[in-house]
Chains A and B, each alone.
Chain A
Amino acid sequence: MTRRSITRIGLALTAALALVSCGNANKDTTALLKQLPKAIFSKKQAPKPLTAQQIAQALGSTTDSVYLFELESRGKVQVLLQDIQRNGPYQTYGNPARQVIVLRDGMITSTRGLGGDLMSSEEDQLIAYVKARREGRVSYDQRFLTPEDVTEVRRYSCYLTTGGNVPVAAGLVRASGQLVTAKCTAADGVSRDFTNAYVVGSDGYIYSGRQWLGSYIGYVNSQVLRR
């Protein structure tokens, strides 16, 4: 990642100075600086796809719902997240590293701890159409923080089309669902357009999907392993 390497060079000197500090003040900063040598010197390893064994182990260690996510633009790195909290229609999935993806009936509505997170969405119209496997035009908003910490709303107009049925077989899930595609165009005419795809069960649950989560994260593939 270019971003990473640039930061590495820039921070090397700062880190060299700061690492030798000691004391009981500013614990958070010291901790923050101590993780730098790894960030600076470790070689990036190509992420390996999760094995069937790892997936079975994850499913065996809990009875809660488990999801597999793949971040396409980050070397297709895969993460397993488990349901940790439900609030109304929203289910928060997380891992011990406190990376979090929030789903609403299988649709990603926000993320945390990934960097460049999708802070929240206005997805009511989109999800209603997707669940109903209905064609038509809907509006959809994604909210992000800028590096300046200002909330930025990206507004899209999405056109939904439906496709054929596809079988879903992953983890403990054996089902079939209909393909729904949402072609979304940025209202500002500048932000990148994207196309999301969902495999939707007969009850409206999204078994798997490919969703755009903004320019920093890119596309994320989701797959339920246990509902």
Chain B
Amino acid sequence: MPGFHNGKSGLVKRVALAGTILSALGGAVWPEEAVNSLPFNLYGSPGLIDMPTAQVPPDATLAGTYANFGGTSRTTLYFQILPRLSGSFRYSSIPNFTGGGTSTLFDRSFDLRYQLLTETERRPSVVVGIQDFIGTGIYSGEYLVASKTVMPGLTVTGGLGWGRFGSYQPFAEMGTRPGGFTGRGGLPEIDRFFQGDVAAFGGIAYSPNDRYTFKVEYSSDDYVEEVKRGTSDKSSPWNFGVDYRFRNGGQLSLYHVLGTEIGAQFTFVTNPKTLGVPGGTEPSGLPVAPRAPGTAADLGWTLDSQRSASVTASLKNLAAKDGLEVEGIDLQSNRVTVRLVNPKYGAPSQAFGRLARVMTRVMPASVEVFEIVPVVNGMAMSAVTFRRSDLERLEHDAANEILARTNFGDGFGKAPQPDDGIYPKFTWAISPFVQLSVFDPDNPVRFDAGLRASAEYEIMPNLIASGSITKKLTGNLDKVKRLDESNLPRVRTDHARYSAEGDPAIEYLQLAHYGRPAKNLYSRVTLGYLEQMYAGASAELLWKPVDSRLALGAELNYIQRRDFDQLFGLQSMTTTDPVTGVKREIPNVNGHVSAYYAFGNGFHGQLDVGRYLAGDYGATVSLDREFANGWRVGAYATFTDASFEDFGEGSFDKGIRFTMPLATFFGQPSRRRNDVVIQSLSRDGGARLNVNGRLYEQVRDYHKPDAVNSWGRFWR
């Protein structure tokens, strides 16, 4: 049946704090930026009511829309990828659509829009859009639309539509529009684009003030399938609506559509570039204490061990007040090297800047060179060197002045030994968790909530035992009734069973060793219960010079399947399909080689090539838009030698992902962040081991390309 998604739930993974998405979308706006008064339509795109407009919100705008009319609901996430290019992900439910008009269709769709012409005094803005272009295509349609603000508050829109947008009173035909879909869905249906009937649509939006917008449109969407199946009645192409806009940019709309139905929608609008208090609200760092002229020549003090000990103690004490841990120092008469652990500042430059200022206050006057070695899991990440006289001279200057005089070196072999009494170190936490599964074909939202206890024992700085246990308190993730057939070893499709039987569950329990085998090289070896479904051993090596945008890595894993109850037991690697009864073997060995590249214009790419869990060989391509404050919005796709047929619904693995740093919500520095992955379908092809502590994310922070992005925080 066209448009019917018959697959697994896309799991929203690692949602540590529920509500963060909502708070992100409802967040505050940097007051200087005009509140965006651009209306969004029922599809969550810039538009009138059901039809699109050619209006384009500011770069990096994120808008979340929930819309409902006549029982049909659409939840859309819209992102302005580039100033002219945007993408949307939508989850919709249409009641009484399938099963002969008895059951609800849950459908996912993706759109792209590109602005061909920007609006000027004389010409309108022109946008080309392709809606629901991947997959089974219930909302499939293309349009070319122009909008012009003819006087303040009054915008006129007119356009041509194909597919859905060409279904009412078409005036022309361009070729034949094929039906059906390629493979098992989930592929762009390029041969369908701009084919078939063409119809015209248009409308007017009038905003008498910045609170209200009144809209009327002539729709070229005839709702053919919905009317045929009795889901909707349609008696008119004219739709009417009114928007109310909140001070934070949110939009509440009421509609009269299709001549028969009443609808409403709510849209949150935010932007990672403008969200939160600029620069944060945290207290100031200490000021630089310049040396009195002539005192730098004061030599010979290092002979005095008492003075040296008191310098170390004051440094640790003052750094701790700024939330930084000085684990060891190496004092020379004119040079000092500090081993730094930064649990607090998301921007490494702020950690460097605060520590360097503290150092100007406690170091003897003869010490001219400050070398800071940030350490993560025992690995020296870089060696960042400042001249004290530069810090004294440039304290009240632009941050890029001190950057030009800062030297980034490899930290290999540079970190002083940690002082006695710091290791071994034990940390623990008990906290609530919410695990969400959304966009399930049977149920839009499933969740588990409970308590998670986690602990970490750092035997040595780079030898760490850690684990976490969860206990469910409530939830319905285990109520998934669907049995999925798979033509591959069931490496992920049994996840409902893991959910149902794992209570309490050991999420992971591992021993990890991190190292610096040589200059530019970083290593990890992890043993134990690595993730929900697999135990074993994982080894990784990463090459990344400190000032390089490029990194190369390799990972090799030897795994054994864990019991469904996720306690200490292991089970056979032979899986049995619950539908066909076919037995298949999960291979023990998988692994990848990876290339990572920061393009330097806010985009970051990653390519992983190797053998996936089910033994399929292939590659994953990822592209993220990264913001200096730590926000990321990206997408990935995995293509392997598992055929589209074997992969099943969706044809190949793909998804979109978000990283939301907590600091932007609190206005206080923090290294905590929420990672959310919306996977289109969780299937067995192209699946990777979810091992903890992969190297690249740990290493890149303290290297020059990443540190420079937010260098403005050095003097913050």
Interface residues of A (CB under 8 A from B): 2-3, 6-7, 9-14, 17-18, 20-29, 32, 84-85, 87-88, 90, 92, 94, 97-100, 102, 104, 109-110, 112-117, 119-120, 122, 143-151, 153, 191-192, 215-216
Q: Choose from B19, B276, B395 the contact partner of A13 (Cβ within 8 Å).
A: B19
Which of B423-431, B514-522, B529-537, B686-694 lies on the face that meets chain A? Answer: B423-431
Please determine whether A145 and B716 come into contact, CB atoms closer than 8 angstroms. yes
Q: Choose from A21, A84, A88, A151 the contact partner of B290 (Cβ within 8 Å).
A: A88
Q: Which residues of A contact B275 (CB under 8 A)?
A: 147
- List 27 contacting pairs A-B, 8 Å CB cutoff, sorted by A: A6-B28, A6-B248, A10-B24, A10-B665, A13-B18, A14-B19, A27-B343, A28-B323, A29-B670, A32-B670, A88-B396, A102-B396, A104-B396, A113-B282, A115-B278, A115-B281, A117-B279, A119-B712, A119-B715, A144-B278, A145-B716, A147-B629, A149-B628, A149-B629, A150-B710, A150-B712, A151-B712
Please determine whether B430 and A7 come into contact, CB atoms closer than 8 angstroms. no
Please determine whether A6 and B27 come into contact, CB atoms closer than 8 angstroms. yes
* Chain B 71-109 residues near chain A, CB threshold 8 A: none
Please determine whether A149 and B712 come into contact, CB atoms closer than 8 angstroms. yes
* Chain B 624-671 residues near chain A, CB threshold 8 A: 627-629, 631, 662, 664-670
Q: Choose from B19, B288, B428, B709 the contact partner of A23 (Cβ within 8 Å).
A: B428
Please determine whether A150 and B277 come into contact, CB atoms closer than 8 angstroms. no
Interface residues of B (CB under 8 A from A): 17-20, 22-24, 26-28, 30-32, 247-248, 272-285, 287-290, 323, 343-344, 347, 392-393, 395-400, 426-432, 434, 454, 456, 627-629, 631, 662, 664-670, 672, 709-713, 715-716
Please determine whether B287 and A23 come into contact, CB atoms closer than 8 angstroms. no
Q: How far is the CA of A17 from the CA of B430 in the complex (A)?
A: 12
Q: Which residues of B contact A18 (CB under 8 A)?
A: 17, 431
> 9 tightest A-B contacts by CB?
A23-B429, A10-B23, A98-B283, A112-B284, A13-B19, A21-B431, A151-B712, A145-B279, A100-B284
Q: Known contacts being A17-B432, A119-B399, A144-B278, is A7 close to B427, with CB within 8 Å?
A: no
Q: Which residues of A contact B668 (CB under 8 A)?
A: 32
Please determine whether A148 and B288 come into contact, CB atoms closer than 8 angstroms. no
Q: How far is the CB of B359 from chain A (nearest CB, A)?
A: 15
Q: Choose from B27, B248, B278, B399 the contact partner of A146 (Cβ within 8 Å).
A: B278
Q: How far is the CB of B502 from chain A (nearest CB, A)?
A: 21
Q: How far is the CA of A145 from the CA of B277 in the complex (A)?
A: 10
Q: How far is the CA of A195 from the CA of B379 in the complex (A)?
A: 52
Q: Known contacts being A21-B429, A99-B284, A145-B712, is A90 close to B248, with CB within 8 Å?
A: no
Q: Which residues of A contact B429 (CB under 8 A)?
A: 21-26
Q: Known contacts being A18-B17, A87-B290, A147-B278, is A94 close to B284, with CB within 8 Å?
A: yes
Q: Which residues of B contact A192 (CB under 8 A)?
A: 32
Identify the interface centre among A2, A99, A147: most chain B CB within 10 Å of its CB.
A147
Q: How far is the CB of B424 from chain A (nearest CB, A)?
A: 14
Q: How far is the CB of A146 from chain B (nearest CB, A)?
A: 6
Interface secondary structure of A, over-half rule = mixed
Q: Which residues of A contact B347 (CB under 8 A)?
A: 149
Please determine whether A117 and B716 come into contact, CB atoms closer than 8 angstroms. yes
Please determine whether B26 and A85 come into contact, CB atoms closer than 8 angstroms. no
Q: How far is the CB of B476 from chain A (nearest CB, A)?
A: 19
Please determine whether B278 and A11 come into contact, CB atoms closer than 8 angstroms. no
Identify the interface centre among A28, A84, A149, A153: most chain B CB within 10 Å of its CB.
A149
Please determine whether B392 and A87 come into contact, CB atoms closer than 8 angstroms. yes
Q: How far is the CB of B342 from chain A (nearest CB, A)?
A: 10
Please determine whether A215 and B31 come into contact, CB atoms closer than 8 angstroms. yes
Please determine whether A147 and B277 come into contact, CB atoms closer than 8 angstroms. yes
Q: How far is the CA of A102 from the CA of B32 in the complex (A)?
A: 24
Q: How far is the CA of A153 from the CA of B666 in the complex (A)?
A: 25
Q: Which residues of B contact A85 (CB under 8 A)?
A: 287-289
Q: Which residues of A contact B456 (CB under 8 A)?
A: 25
Q: Which residues of B contact A6 (CB under 8 A)?
A: 26-28, 247-248
Please determine whether A14 and B20 come into contact, CB atoms closer than 8 angstroms. yes
Chain A residue with the shortest CB-CB distance to B392: A87
Please determine whether A143 and B398 come into contact, CB atoms closer than 8 angstroms. yes
Q: How far is the CA of A113 from the CA of B277 in the complex (A)?
A: 11
Identify the interface centre among B247, B274, B277, B290: most chain A CB within 10 Å of its CB.
B277
Q: Which residues of A contact B662 (CB under 8 A)?
A: 29
Chain B residue with the shortest CB-CB distance to A23: B429
Q: How far is the CB of A78 from chain B (nearest CB, A)?
A: 19
Q: How far is the CA of A22 from the CA of B454 in the complex (A)?
A: 11
Identify the interface centre among B28, B289, B670: most chain A CB within 10 Å of its CB.
B28
Q: Known contacts being A13-B18, A28-B323, A100-B284, is A21 close to B23, with CB within 8 Å?
A: no
Please determine whether B281 and A113 come into contact, CB atoms closer than 8 angstroms. yes
Q: How far is the CA of A63 from the CA of B288 in the complex (A)?
A: 21
Q: Which residues of A contact B17 (CB under 8 A)?
A: 14, 17-18
Q: Choose from A2, A94, A116 the contact partner of B279 (Cβ within 8 Å).
A: A116
Q: How far is the CB of B545 from chain A (nearest CB, A)?
A: 24
Chain A residue with the shortest CB-CB distance to B631: A148
Please determine whether A146 and B30 come into contact, CB atoms closer than 8 angstroms. yes
